[in-house]
Amino acid sequence: MRPPHDPEVKAWLDKGGEDLAAARVLKEHAPHLDSVVGFHCQQAAEKYMKALLVAMESEVPRAHDLDALLVPLVASLPELAAIEEAASYLSGFAVIPRYPSFQPQAGNASARSRRAWVLATDIVDAVRRQLHRPGPSPEDTATPA
């Protein structure tokens, strides 16, 4: 697996970090803008998941569907199945809320903003754990002489 400081992996993580920062500011100062908070949460999760795909040297699809991005990740890292619900919820913020015909889910906008934030950070944390987990030691991969 490529390390988190690999230039391409880092570029995805940095862009995801920007979306996460935007979501945090909006969640704290304008939680009533739940579709915008959700959009940035979805974007952060998407970019972190794509960073992990890059690190795994897998193809990075040009898609916003977190469920679809999760399929190859779970195939290689079954423990990521734990973020399936988060991915499904956040996928709903990828495109549709950006258009005037969007009707928000029933309930409190601030609660929706908080939920999107929590689920995005669950995905980000899961990806970070995978990127920073120790790999095999050099002794494990050394070719016998």
**Tokens of residue 51, six digits:** 């960073």
Check residue 94 and give its pLDDT: 86
Choice among 14-23, 49-58, 107-116, 133-142 with the minimum mean pLDDT: 133-142
The CATH architecture annotation of domain 7-99+107-135 reads: Up-down Bundle (1.20)
Domain boundaries, given as residue ranges, for the chain: 7-99+107-135
Percent of the chain with pLDDT over 90: 71
CA–CA distance, 52 with 101 (Å, rounded to integer): 33
- CA dist., res. 38 & res. 126, Å (int): 18
- 63-87 average pLDDT score: 96
Taking all residues of the chain, what is their mean pLDDT, rounded to a whole number? 88
Q: What is the mean pLDDT of residues 16-31?
A: 96
Q: Which amino acid is at 63?
A: A
Residue 20 has pLDDT above 50, yes or no: yes
